[in-house]
Structure 1
């Protein structure tokens, strides 16, 4: 079978790399179409996945993004037609849905971001099936199916991921040394229009206060201010999940990284503009994420919450115990997605 998949974000590279490899091992011809965003191309190359680059950017601002949507959708269609695609898979991106409909082929997508308005609009119109977490807050119609997993369990389930403690030495850390990962995003995604994240003052406060308790590493989608350069993450992107596993705490604006930390048994403080079902579950049921809604009060409360968590005795060990329960109750996302793919064969 000829299959087309889109990779437009680093998290998508992580989420689908195992599925791409498995499908190729089974003899399927998988065409990976990529739009460059942050380090997603680096990750595809690390995973040994051949790809076709469709565009060098996901765009900034409504006008550029609208133009790129048209341009990339045309290129997706042309590449998929040449590939003689039988099936389209991936996240709820307009390009996949549009190309599949134009070619009269089925498409299977997974989505966990309820406010991904543009992607979900096109996928509700054109996709064959949309998979989401059970906690997804929107009903997407008859094509909507729920699964008891998270996208992070596509690649961080123990079936696929084993933490490697050698990353500690690479990062200049001693065993059991406390350290914190701060993640800042660019706020340039389609669903981020009109929103801003943490102020420079709050970021500075987080670095200062957490720095009193251990080493601080910063991962950022956009250019770091000079004052934060010495805290820049020293490891290659493919090492990040190993470092997340051993971290004392994660703090920042990225829903994905907070959820990644949670399924690895590391507590996270997420500073965001809205709530999502699976994040609420990780917070309320498994108590591995603490969410601070940026519009609901002073941003400094997020730093206070992070410091309080970091000071809790045995916080790392507590997190790993919580993870055991999570893994006992949630399923391997990649396995579920592959089962759905095989229904189209």
Structure 2
């Protein structure tokens, strides 16, 4: 079978890298199209995934994004006409959804971002199947299929991920060293417009306070002010999950990295005006106790200091993480079986759910 998949964010590379590899091992043809966003093209190169660029930028303003939407819609149409995919797969990409409708082909996606309203609106119109985590707060109607996994389980499931301690030596760290990862985002995604996280003063406070207890490392989508540059994480981007695994604490504006940290058993604090709006964060906090979400920056930093001071904090989180991992399925294996056997797989699962 021939599959067309779009990459529009670095996290999408991580999410689908193993699925692409396994599908190709089974003899399927997977064509990847990509929008240059942060370091997603670099990750595709690192993982030896062939791709075709459909836009050199994701845009900063609403007008930019509108122009890029039209441009990439046309590019995917041209590529589809030549490649002739059997199924469009990936995330809730409006350009992919519309093209699947135009070419009368199925579109099967995974989505976990409740506030991605435009993308979900288009998906409800043109996408055939929208797979979401069980904890997804929105009801998307008859096209929705829920399963017990998060996006981050696609690549952090133990069948695929084994932490490599060699990453520590690259940053002159030793096993057992206390270090803390701060994450700052650009707030330029379409679903981030109007949202915010840490102010500059709060960032300074976090760096200053956390530095009293260990080493601070910063991951940032945007250029860092000179005063923070010495804290920048300098490792290759595919090693970030190894670093998160060994970190003492994560605090940041990035929702994906907050979830990754929680799943890896690292205390995770999410700081954003979006706190409390997404089902996966609510479940990680209320059911598993692996994440703490705050809109109040000062409370978040204060909580971070409190956790840092606890000598057994990593063991406490690892015990919680083991419970989580026993609950969750392997979503990569699920998706492969689902799309290979579609539409029978959809009807079978729907019938099973209806009987429950």
| TM-score, structure 1 normalization | 0.97
Displacement of 1:313 = 2.0
- Give, in whole Å, the separation in 2 of the partners of 1:155 and 1:327: 13
CA RMSD, 1 decimal? 0.9
Given that residues 195 and 272 in structure 2 are in contact (C-alpha distance below 8 angstroms), is that contact kept between their aligned partners in structure 1?
A: no
Residue in 2 that maps onto 1:54: 54
Contact 2:6 2:32 in 1 (8 A): yes
Secondary structure (helix, strand or coil) at the match of 1:150 reads: coil
List 4+ stretches of structure 1 deviating above 2 A. Answer: none
For 1:273 and 1:88, how far apart are their aligned partners in 2?
Answer: 33
Query: Shift in Å at residue 280 of structure 1?
Result: 0.6
Query: Deviation at 1:196?
Result: 2.5
Separation of aligned partners in 1, 2:329 and 2:73: 33
* 1:336 corresponding residue in structure 2: 334
2: distance between equivalents of 1:54 and 1:48?
18
Tell me which residue corresponds to 1:113.
Answer: 113
| Structure-2 separation of matches of 1:158 and 1:322 | 16
By how many angstroms is 1:343 displaced?
2.0
Cross-structure match for 2:322: 324
Counterparts of 2:272 and 2:205 in 1: how far apart (Å)?
17
Per-residue deviation, 1:310: 1.3
Q: Tell me what 1:9 maps to.
A: 9
SS, match of residue 336 in structure 1: helix
CA distance in structure 1 between the aligned counterparts of 2:71 and 2:267, rounded to whole angstroms: 41
Asked if 1:280 corresponds to 2:282, the answer is: yes
Aligned to 1:163: 163
Show structure 1 runs of 5+ residues with no match: none
**Does 2:219 align with 1:212?**
no
- Check whether the contact 2:72–2:95 (CA below 8 A) recurs between aligned residues: yes
Partner of 2:149: 149
Per-residue CA deviation, residues 294-316 of structure 1 (Å, 9 max, x unaligned), is: xxx4x211110111111122111
Residue 44 of structure 2 corresponds to residue 44 of structure 1: yes
Query: How far apart are residue 335 of structure 1 and its match?
Result: 1.3
Give per-residue Cα distances to partners, 1:322-344, cap 9 Å, x unaligned: 11111111111111211211123
Q: How far does residue 87 in structure 1 lie from its aligned partner after superposition?
A: 0.4
Q: Which residue of 2 aligns with 1:78?
A: 78
1:171 positional shift:
1.2
Gaps of 5+ in 2: 344-356
d(CA) in 2 for partners of 1:126 and 1:329?
Answer: 32
Residues 14-33 of structure 1: CA distance to partner in whole angstroms, max 9, x if unpaired? 00000011111111111100
Q: Secondary structure at the match of 2:85?
A: coil
- Aligned residues between the structures: 341
